Amino acid sequence: MDKREMKGVIEAVLFAAGDPVSLKDLCGILGMDKRDVLLVMKEMKDWYNYERRGLQLIEAEGYFQFSTRPEYYEYIQKLHSPQRKQGLSQAALETLAIIAYKQPITRAEVDSIRGVQSDSAISTLIEKRLIHEVDRMDTIGRPILYGTTVDFLKYFGLSTVEELPEILEEQITYLNENTR
């Protein structure tokens, strides 16, 4: 199978699936190893971006999916207005940020950073499938440890948690140096 055909197959499979397709599944479908498939995926991703296509190939934790390009949202809206999902509340966003950077983390730890109870924020985030239980802490009561999900990455357009915006540690150190 040449590269062109591979790209055709990948495109067809992703279009038909709708749901994110794992790299593993794609390898199985193409009968090729991860390295080759990834190489082609990368080329495709770049091509879609370079050509400013209406679709873009997105990746999150080894899953691939097509989505429309955000820039064209207003045009799609002219056709019919897709239900605009309500953004997260400030409390939920704050809680999510803490979980994202400090995962795995217990609810009590989140509470102590925020100085306020985070029960409802956490249940909202679970409901929206942005966080999930990853483990239990090995202490009294075995509290739940929360972590972020693949949906979380998709929600914020990230491929991995490593891509999270950098926390402004340097600004804090700067403050430290200038006030002490």
CA 144 → CA 95, 133, 141, 175, distances in Å?
A: 15, 6, 9, 35
* Interior/surface letters 36-55, b for 16+ CB within 10 angstroms, e for the rest: ebbebbeebeeebeeeeeee
Check binding of 98 to other proteins (CB under 8 A): yes
Beta bridge partners of 55: 68
Check binding of 18 to other proteins (CB under 8 A): yes
Binding residue (CB under 8 A) for other proteins from 2, 4, 19, 80: 19
Beta bridge partners of 136: 144
Check binding of 82 to other proteins (CB under 8 A): yes
Which residues have C-beta within 8 Å of that of residue 112, sequence separation ≥ 6? none
Quote helix, strand, coil % in the chain, to nearest 5: 55, 15, 30
Check binding of 35 to other proteins (CB under 8 A): no
Check binding of 9 to other proteins (CB under 8 A): no
Check binding of 169 to other proteins (CB under 8 A): yes
Beta bridge partners of 144: 136
Binding residue (CB under 8 A) for other proteins from 101, 123, 133, 136: 101
Task: Give min distance, CB of 2 to other proteins, in A.
Answer: 26
Check binding of 116 to other proteins (CB under 8 A): yes
Check binding of 172 to other proteins (CB under 8 A): yes
Give 46 or 71: the residue with its C-beta nearer to other proteins: 71
Check binding of 96 to other proteins (CB under 8 A): yes
162: left (phi over 0), alpha (psi -120 to 50) or beta: alpha
**Which residues make up the interface to other proteins (CB under 8 A)?**
15-19, 56, 58, 65-71, 73, 76, 82, 84-85, 87-88, 90-91, 93-94, 96-98, 101, 112-117, 154-158, 165, 167-169, 171-172, 175-176, 179-180
